[in-house]
Structure 1
Amino acid sequence: MQILPLLILLLAGAATALQGPTNARLATAVNSPLNAAFISFAVGTVALGCLAVAMQTRPDVSAMKALPWWAWMGGLYGCAFVISAAWGVPRLGVATTITLMVAGQLALSLILDHFGALGVARQPLSLGRIADVALVIGGVVLVRRS
């Protein structure tokens, strides 16, 4: 496996740790996690628009029309993530908030992989994969108690 894609994913994951306290601070200033998420998505939309123009990307409209309904829901999941992080960080701290979110991501990921849901390749549950998620959940408990 090439190292660059792995580093990019690692940095993207690290950015989620920055997103929580950044949006929590914004939520305090604008009076709610919902307002902070709205601003966060507005800034992100502008950034994505600029990138799309700079990279001269164009969507395939016919392919978009053929998508199932659930393929359009990614932004809703992002809203839930941003609002939850903005709410959780001031109450639980960055580490606990992020580890809880990662534990939730991993638990659902196992289910999606096992059933091949939403078009992903099937990867059956195994004791090792279940143990991986259990260890992360154990990490949540350790982070919270420390």
Structure 2
Amino acid sequence: MLLLYGVVLIAGIANAIQPGQTTQLAKSLGEPFTAGLISMFVGSAGMLAIGLLSGHLSVPSLQQAGQAPWWAWIGGLVGVGLLIAQLFVAQRVGAAPFLGLLVTAGVVTSIALDHFGLVGFDVHAAGPMRLLGGALMIAGVSLVALS
């Protein structure tokens, strides 16, 4: 479990760095949408390479594809929304407020997703400690964003 938490910590660090990378590419190219497309292409190429190298890449059958709920197919669009926010908001508000708000919104939303068992998550009740944790994150990000 400790190794998994380490992977999540590295992903969090990458999540803090990526907006700067993407916006710098947009500045260098002079066009944010071109930079966003390149970022998505490089990410897709990376997924393809890792999938091929690991042997865990296959074309799903029609039956498998039909078993996925409709909302599972639009995850890439959610990624596009995040990328657009990085391109047009991150540099303006700063790295700390941007990531703080992003993570806090994610944690508060995740508490609700867990509590109600939405979008494929198992039910994990939003007990007092989880609610307090969400409230403390809101307080913390307020201090970061408003200072």
- SS across alignment from 2:119: helix
Return 5+ residue gaps in structure 1 as ranges.
Answer: none
Report the TM-score, using the length of structure 1 for normalisation.
0.89
Return 5+ residue gaps in structure 2 as ranges.
Answer: none
Matches within 5 A, 1:20-99: 20-57=19-56, 58-61=58-61, 62-99=63-100
> Which stretch shows the higher mean deviation, 35-44 or 91-100?
35-44
> Which stretch shows the higher mean deviation, 70-79 or 55-64?
55-64
Aligned residues: 145
Aligned to 1:127: 128
Whole-Å separation in 2 of the counterparts to 1:73 and 1:10: 26
Whole-Å separation in 2 of the counterparts to 1:42 and 1:51: 14
Deviation at 1:109, TM superposition (A): 0.9
Deviation at 1:97, TM superposition (A): 0.2
Assess if the C-alpha contact under 8 Å between 1:99 and 1:140 holds in 2: yes
Whole-Å separation in 2 of the counterparts to 1:83 and 1:30: 16
Whole-Å separation in 2 of the counterparts to 1:31 and 1:105: 31
Deviation at 1:59, TM superposition (A): 4.1
Deviation at 1:92, TM superposition (A): 0.9
Assess if the C-alpha contact under 8 Å between 1:36 and 1:83 holds in 2: no
Counterpart check, 1:141 vs 2:138: no
Whole-Å separation in 2 of the counterparts to 1:45 and 1:127: 40
Cα offsets for 1:57-116 (capped at 9, x unmatched):
224423223111111111111111121122222101111100011111112111111111
- Percent identity between matched residues is 32
AA matched with 1:78 = G
Deviation at 1:49, TM superposition (A): 1.2
Whole-Å separation in 2 of the counterparts to 1:135 and 1:35: 38
* TM-aligned CA distance change 1:133 to 1:33, over 3 Å: farther
> Which stretch shows the higher mean deviation, 25-34 or 42-51?
25-34
Report the TM-score, using the length of structure 2 for normalisation.
0.89
AA matched with 1:85 = Q
Whole-Å separation in 1 of the counterparts to 2:140 and 2:9: 19
